[in-house]
Chain A
Amino acid sequence: MTAASLTETEVPLKRRLKEAERARQFKALALVLPLLVFLLFTFAGPIAGMLWRAVDDREVRQVLPQTIAALADWDGKDLPDEKAYAALASDIQAARAAGTIAIAAKRLNYALNGFRTILTSTARNLKAVPEAGTAKETLIRINPAWRERATWRTIRDAGGPITGFYLLAALDLTRNADGAITAAAPDQAIYRDIFARTFLISLGVTALCLILGFPVAYLLATLPPGRSNLLMIFVLLPFWTSLLVRTCAWIVLLQSKGVVNDSLHWLGIIDEPLRLIYNRFGVCVAMTHVLLPFMILPLYSSMKAISPAYMRAAASLGAPPLTAFLRIYLPQTLPGIGAGSLLVFILALGYYITPALVGGAADQMISYFIALYTTETANWGLASALGAVLLLATLLLALVYGKLVQGQQVTGGMKN
């Protein structure tokens, strides 16, 4: 089309088409909007709230406001002055009347073990607001801990309003007296081990799923459709069966008087029942069972897309079967292997129910501790910080997964 053929009547038409298209786009967006708003309220908002709790640190500032204000320009080298002691005494009096001592005591106790006792004993023994100029000696007489700089530093550092305390704790780190980041005390440094354990269990389960899933996916992709559809039921039925049913089944099978131990005993292979459950073995077996379909299905679809002509071509060119498999078939399944493994690994990282029911104390994964700190000990800051680390790991892996699957769709489209 040349510029000359663009008559004047065509320009408004073009604009009209453009406007109609814009209206269509608006309507399309309006259809998606209800779900976006809904997810904001039931999903994104709550998760953002959890992330906020990982850095939120306003408890001490609300209970001991004057103390925090008085400590604002304290250099931390010597003990704070009389003014800070008087502010603390006044805050404690007010907090005792309001019944909020326990809130501050709990938060301060996370930072310095034993702080709960210091604060509650002080609150109990401080009968009245000390006379002017005597606050320091009164408080120190009640509890000598008020003579320690560390006690005061703990209050100052918990002054909020935001903190890196929980996020550092989730990585076994803490701030020392100078404010530098150092390793946490050995009795509190447990989370790296738990993350490592979560990672190792997930990795092991992913490897098991790949080893068990590969031959099955290969068989299903190679058999004629009638037979493979029938066998597919063996994969889909567990996939659709409730997680609780499957976990319950493994407990029934593996417990010391369970079906497996009974059978082995009856066959004369063992005398004493083997310990098959409430340990790492049980966790890995049950998790592999639950996650195996998530490996088989992507593997199957990637193998299904491989044309048998490639293998025939390799054979006709003289490649031995093993060479043809390793050099021609296996490389084409790599995207499927990647997608399936990432999917299983992502799902395994966040597992809670199965390890909670079939694992021992030493097999609990990170989700268990997030749940524990949320509902049992109500250490919400730490629960949220651990959750933030898990969420970050999951989202990064999901990003890789997204790229991988997208790439596959593109190449799949080119093949067709």
Chain B
Amino acid sequence: MSDNSALRTPSQRIAWTATIVVSTLVFVFLIAPILAIMPLSFSSGSYLTYPLPGFSLRWYDDFINSPRWMNSLKNSLIIGVASTLLSMALGTLAALGLAQWKSRFKPLVLAFVLSPVVVPGVITAVGLYFFFAPIGLTGSYLGLILAHTALATPFVVITVGATLQSFDTNLARAAASLGASPLQAFRRVILPLILPGLASGALFAFATSFDEVVIVLFMAGPEQRTLPREMFSGIRENISPTITAAAVILTTVSVILLATMEGLRRRNERLKGGG
């Protein structure tokens, strides 16, 4: 069906046209809201309506000069990077282990490892709130980093695991037979091959932490508020154009993450195609 000129009957052509029309409307529905708030952040007025009275960067200025917003951006980066590193370490080890482990309990263990993705955020947050408060981990960076790591690690296990599945274990054997120590074989043979998988795992982990707000709502003190948390308050209280500036900054980060991800995917496909 990929050759659309093969659509012969009028009814087929009508159906195809309808598919295109409906899909276009859905694409507009998906993209338009995100695009619509961007210009508002460059407005010189303080109302979130079109037409814009003029162009200005005053809301970005507002963002940069507000200790509250800048602190939240800093917190998001600290917590995001730290939980990415931690979840990469835990998740990569686990994926390596799961790839070799043969047991009838494996599906059960895998289900347990992946369950933080499925369990509603509020339940994890409430559980952590009760559990971390008595041991002083609420209102601390460490508590948030641990919680975000738990949420992000499943994505690392999935992406790294998928890469390992397509990895040819004969290469590791070849390295060993040529006299490489296990560590050398990992560093010089395995690591370069699974690096794209690791990188997409890291991106997923960072995006998970960077976007998370429910756990932060329950556990962060005023000092640890992240960017999404600050946006949550901002939306609740009153939507100022500064929030749209924050939204543009967040979206820019998302676009960078997405573009890197696409680049990695294409590189991987090219490598596979070449092999």
Q: Spell out A's residues near B (CB within 8 Å).
A: 24-25, 27-36, 38-39, 41-50, 53, 212-213, 215-216, 218-219, 222-224, 231, 233-238, 240-253, 255, 257-259, 262, 289, 292-293, 308, 311, 321-322, 346, 349-353, 357, 367, 370-371, 374-375, 380, 383-384, 387, 390-391, 394-395, 398, 402
Contacts and interface: CB of A to CB of B under 8 A. Distances in A.
B117 to A, nearest CB: 9
A77 to B, nearest CB: 39
Contacts of B125: 371
Given A251-B239, A259-B49, A367-B120, A35 B232 contact: no
A258 B49 contact: yes
A311 B19 CA distance: 17
B217 to A, nearest CB: 8
25 contacts: A24-B100, A28-B101, A31-B93, A38-B90, A38-B153, A39-B112, A46-B131, A49-B130, A50-B130, A215-B23, A237-B34, A240-B255, A240-B261, A241-B254, A242-B247, A244-B231, A244-B235, A245-B247, A247-B235, A248-B239, A252-B36, A349-B120, A387-B127, A394-B123, A398-B115
B133 to A, nearest CB: 11
Given A36-B112, A224-B2, A235-B30, A243 B36 contact: no
Contact of B19 (A219, A259, A387, A398): A219
Contacts of A374: 126, 129, 218
B7 to A, nearest CB: 9
Contact of A216 (B26, B218, B236): B26
B49 A212 contact: no
Given A24-B100, A248-B247, A234 B27 contact: yes
A46 B124 contact: yes
Contacts of A255: 48, 239
A252 B244 contact: yes
B87 to A, nearest CB: 9
A299 B243 CA distance: 34
Interface in B85-113: 90-91, 93-94, 96-103, 109, 111-113
Interface centre among A41, A252, A253 (most CB of B within 10 A): A252
A353 B130 CA distance: 20
B109 to A, nearest CB: 7
Q: Give chain A's interface secondary structure class.
A: helix
B262 to A, nearest CB: 8
Contacts of A243: 211, 213, 228
Given A259-B49, A311-B1, A43 B244 contact: no
B63 interface: no
Interface stretch (B8-16, B54-62, B173-181, B183-191): B8-16
B31 interface: yes
Contacts of A346: 118
Contacts of B146: 41-42
B167 interface: no
Contact of A244 (B4, B48, B232): B232
Contacts of B236: 357
Contacts of B1: 222, 308, 311
Interface in B117-143: 118-132
Contact of B96 (A31, A233, A321, A350): A31
Given A32-B113, A245-B231, 20 more contacts: A28-B97, A39-B113, A43-B124, A47-B127, A49-B131, A50-B127, A237-B30, A240-B261, A244-B232, A245-B34, A246-B33, A247-B235, A249-B36, A251-B235, A252-B48, A252-B239, A289-B33, A352-B121, A371-B217, A398-B118
A370 B236 CA distance: 19
Interface in B76-90: 90
B97 A248 contact: no
